[in-house]
A and B are shown apart, each in its own frame.
Chain A
């Protein structure tokens, strides 16, 4: 899904928190959004996912304004996932039941993704008994199962252990290779952005300071704020 962001402004209590002049995210881009705390990264992700309203400006999805039907084709995975008070299986199956998919097909797809993410053992476990890493795996599986063409990840591996993070990254990579969706990943972790993303946007004080191919931005940035951020974050 191609995204065009035009003159997007978000104010919180009369304070400008986001000011994106023009940004085009081509279809099948894996974009990392990086930047310091409070830069507006998560706000941008939530506005794209229509969980928050912009003060002004617009976002076009495949050159069209937002319509509720688009919600069937996009999702956002949160840093702290909310799992439904039911089993892991029912959590993952939920988006498919919303789309009235046949029971056999649901079972097939849920079992496939459980195996892919190596969480078959959690299938019948109640969601509230899961650890943080397990819960995030279930949340990601639930987000991927309906094969959205726009996937937004909001610091989805923060606060989880390295081995769970690797499983999640592997799953995302496999999903990206197989279905070529547009992925927008908000992250503090530059190493993770390098491992996963094709492009990166550096946001500072609500504005996009730099946008381009990942290695170009990290190694050849001409922007001082970007260079300072990168030199403080990355160990080469």
Chain B
């Protein structure tokens, strides 16, 4: 219990300490998670709307695959991405292993199915009505797509919030592909795991508090936008 209380106090101290190493970890965490969520959003929103509103062959199989991907274990994703980008892997010559880019790729794979799945469900429910209204009021294809995005903004934000939540809190994949290298690929979650292994519970909880505060701020912003 003492570790918990000291950790909470420590969390606030860290935020105001202006410690360069801590801030590097915080900024890298935000950079990796926000970039992967942003890229996943750009790809997954149109994809989710497409799957939800169009009929095509093997649609049911695609939907089942997406739902399965939503519960994909991060360590598996980390392992697969690592095998692809490791020196002996098919993309080994790109030199991505143990870089923030590799971490973004892994998180992109984890976040995308969540946003696609959320948008698929929402557009399956409302998409036909929205498209029908748009057509009866004279909207062209671009205007219909804009209307779909506007009308589904609640679900888009829900998907982004859920996706960002998964990215910022994820440890398994970024640990495998990033390697938790100090000053290079160390993020908040891998720092917490490392501190726990070292028996430094107070600092682990302190970083955890910082993580929670940042998540709260970003989710509050997204909620307001929604």
Instruction: A77 to B136: give the CA distance in the assembly, Å.
Output: 8
Instruction: A227 to B55: give the CA distance in the assembly, Å.
Output: 43
The reply to whether the CB of A24 lies closer than 8 angstroms to some CB of chain B is no
Pairwise interchain contact B139-A143, C-beta atoms closer than 8 A: no
Per-residue interface assignment for chain A, residues 64 to 102, with 1 indicating a CB less than 8 Å from any chain B CB and 0 otherwise: 000010011111111000101100000000110011000
Interface SS majority for chain A: mixed
A163-194: which residues lie under 8 A (CB-CB) from chain B? none
The reply to whether the CB of B132 lies closer than 8 angstroms to some CB of chain A is yes
Pairwise interchain contact A85-B151, C-beta atoms closer than 8 A: yes
Chain A neighbourhood of B133, CB < 8 A = 82, 84
Pairwise interchain contact A71-B132, C-beta atoms closer than 8 A: no
Instruction: A171 to B138: give the CA distance in the assembly, Å.
Output: 21
Instruction: A94 to B146: give the CA distance in the assembly, Å.
Output: 12
Tell me the minimal C-beta distance from B39 to chain A in angstroms: 27
The reply to whether the CB of B135 lies closer than 8 angstroms to some CB of chain A is yes
Instruction: A82 to B151: give the CA distance in the assembly, Å.
Output: 11
Given contacts A84-B151, A98-B143, contact A72 B132 (CB under 8 A): no
Interface SS majority for chain B: helix
Interface residue tally on B, bucketed by range: 10 to 19
The reply to whether the CB of A231 lies closer than 8 angstroms to some CB of chain B is no
Tell me the minimal C-beta distance from A41 to chain B in angstroms: 17
The reply to whether the CB of A49 lies closer than 8 angstroms to some CB of chain B is yes
The reply to whether the CB of B200 lies closer than 8 angstroms to some CB of chain A is no
The reply to whether the CB of A137 lies closer than 8 angstroms to some CB of chain B is no
Tell me the minimal C-beta distance from B128 to chain A in angstroms: 9
Instruction: A51 to B131: give the CA distance in the assembly, Å.
Output: 10
B147-183: which residues lie under 8 A (CB-CB) from chain A? 147, 150-151, 153-154
The reply to whether the CB of B197 lies closer than 8 angstroms to some CB of chain A is no
Pairwise interchain contact B132-A82, C-beta atoms closer than 8 A: yes
Chain A neighbourhood of B143, CB < 8 A = 98
Pairwise interchain contact B140-A76, C-beta atoms closer than 8 A: no
Tell me the minimal C-beta distance from A98 to chain B in angstroms: 5
Write the chain A residue with the least CB distance to B140: A68
Write the chain B residue with the least CB distance to A80: B129
- Name which of A72, A85, A142, A146 has the most chain B CB atoms within 10 A of its CB: A85
The reply to whether the CB of A50 lies closer than 8 angstroms to some CB of chain B is yes
Write the chain A residue with the least CB distance to B143: A98
Chain B neighbourhood of A99, CB < 8 A = 138
Tell me the minimal C-beta distance from A81 to chain B in angstroms: 8
Pairwise interchain contact A71-B129, C-beta atoms closer than 8 A: no
Chain B neighbourhood of A78, CB < 8 A = 132
Tell me the minimal C-beta distance from A80 to chain B in angstroms: 9
Given contacts A82-B129, A82-B130, A98-B143, contact A50 B151 (CB under 8 A): no
Complex A-B: 19 CB contacts under 8 Å: A51-B135, A68-B140, A71-B136, A71-B138, A77-B136, A82-B130, A82-B132, A82-B133, A84-B133, A85-B154, A94-B137, A95-B137, A95-B138, A98-B137, A99-B138, A142-B137, A143-B136, A146-B137, A146-B138
The 3 closest A-B pairs by CB, nearest first: A82-B129, A95-B137, A72-B138
- Residues in A lying within 8 Å of B, measured CB to CB: 49-51, 68, 71-78, 82, 84-85, 94-95, 98-99, 142-143, 146
